């Protein structure tokens, strides 16, 4: 049995959601809250498995409430529900720790499905939201940059890559020599070749490249 908490400022919406959700025998609404400020308290009191959270609410909005709830020990999963699929909402909700983000025009059957998926530890987004997320992800050239950077690293020898990593950490040549057991002169030679191979003019540039390539982290 999956225990649910519904957080929405409109009683009618809460009633509708409760109706839909309890049509499934595995779901039980154990509590309701009418704004974000009450949400955390209700979570502590009733310990639901999943929280359905509206965004637009008086006092504390759904995003802040989600953050608050996720900060609790052994927090429940949170599914954010909203009428608007604004980018900003989506990203902030996901970063606040939400496991789902559904639009209010989601069909009842999918809502039930989403709650179950989330309770099982996976995630569920409305299709339109998924599209936005993917769009942003693909547009986020970071991973692209990473692959490009990695490509350039292919020409390096093992030793050179080790030295490069150390440079990326911000170590001095002397420090690198100590940690890799070689003289400072040798370190310099490696760094010098790395500079040539990566077409850089100083160590700062290769350090950044090392980071872009994900060599550190």
Partner DNA sequence: GGTCAGGTTCTCGACGGTGATCATGGCGTC
Partner DNA sequence: GACGCCATGATCACCGTCGAGAACCTGACC
Applying CB under 8 A, the residues found at the interface with its own copies are: 91, 94-95, 97, 99, 117, 120-125, 127-128, 130-131, 133-134, 136-138, 140-144, 167-168, 170, 172, 200-205, 207-208, 211
H or E, element range at 3: strand 2-7
Residues 91, 61 contacting (CB under 8 angstroms): no
Instruction: Give, rounded to a whole angstrom, the gap between the first and last alpha carbons of the chain.
Output: 40
CA dihedral 51, 105, 64, 17 (to 10 degrees): -30
* CB-CB contact of 30 with 52 (8 Å): no
Q: Which residues bind DNA (CB under 7 A)?
A: 157-160, 172-174, 181-186, 188-192, 195-196, 201-203
66 binds, among DNA, its own copies, none (CB under 5 to 8 A by kind): none
Helix (H, G, I), strand (E, B) or coil at 30: strand
Say how many CA atoms lie within 13 Å of 99 toward its Cβ: 20
128 binds, among DNA, its own copies, none (CB under 5 to 8 A by kind): its own copies
The two structure tokens encoding residue 189: 């030679």
Q: Toward DNA, which CB reaches closer, 64 or 182?
A: 182
Smaller CB separation from its own copies, 17 or 167: 167
Least distance (Å) from its own copies to the CB of residue 198? 11
User: What are the tokens at 106?
Assistant: 């989601």
DSSP H helices, 23-107, are 36-46, 62-70, 87-96
Q: How far is the CB of 142 from DNA (least distance, A)?
A: 25
Partner that binds at residue 77, options its own copies, DNA, none, CB closer than 5 to 8 Å by kind: none
Nearer to DNA, 73 or 154 (CB): 154
Taking the complex as a whole, the smallest distance from the CB of residue 122 to its own copies amounts, in Å, to: 4
Q: Which is nearer to DNA, 43 or 207 (CB)?
A: 207
Closest to DNA by CB, 20 vs 200, is 200
Measured distance CA(172)–CA(188) in Å, rounded = 10
Smallest separation (angstroms) from its own copies to the CB of 60: 18
Contact 79, 102 (CB under 8 A): yes
Strand 50-54 versus strand 27-33 pairing type: unpaired
102 or 215: CB nearest DNA: 215
Residue 152 binds which of DNA, its own copies, none (CB < 5-8 A, kind-dependent): none
């Amino acid at each position: 049995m999956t225990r649910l908490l519904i957080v929405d400022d409109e009683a009618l919406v809460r009633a509708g959601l409760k109706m839909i959700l309890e049509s499934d025998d595995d779901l039980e609404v154990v509590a309701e809250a009418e704004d974000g400020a009450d949400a955390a308290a209700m979570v502590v009191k009733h310990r639901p498995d999943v929280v359905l959270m509206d965004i637009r609410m008086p006092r504390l909005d759904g995003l802040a409430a989600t953050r608050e709830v996720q900060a609790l020990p052994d927090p429940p999963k949170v599914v954010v529900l909203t009428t608007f699929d604004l980018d900003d909402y989506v990203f902030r909700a996901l970063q606040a720790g939400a496991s789902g983000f559904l639009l209010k025009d989601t069909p009842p059957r999918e809502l039930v499905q989403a709650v179950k998926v989330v309770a099982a530890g996976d995630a569920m987004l409305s299709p339109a939201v998924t599209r936005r997320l993917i769009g942003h992800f693909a547009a986020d050239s970071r991973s692209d940059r990473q692959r490009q950077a990695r490509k350039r690293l292919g020409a390096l020898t093992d030793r050179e890559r080790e030295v490069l990593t150390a440079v990326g950490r911000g170590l001095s040549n002397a420090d690198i020599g100590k940690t890799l057991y070689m003289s400072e002169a040798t370190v310099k030679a490696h760094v010098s070749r790395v500079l040539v191979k990566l077409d850089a003019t100083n160590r700062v540039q290769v350090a950044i490249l090392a980071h872009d390539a994900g060599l550190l982290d």
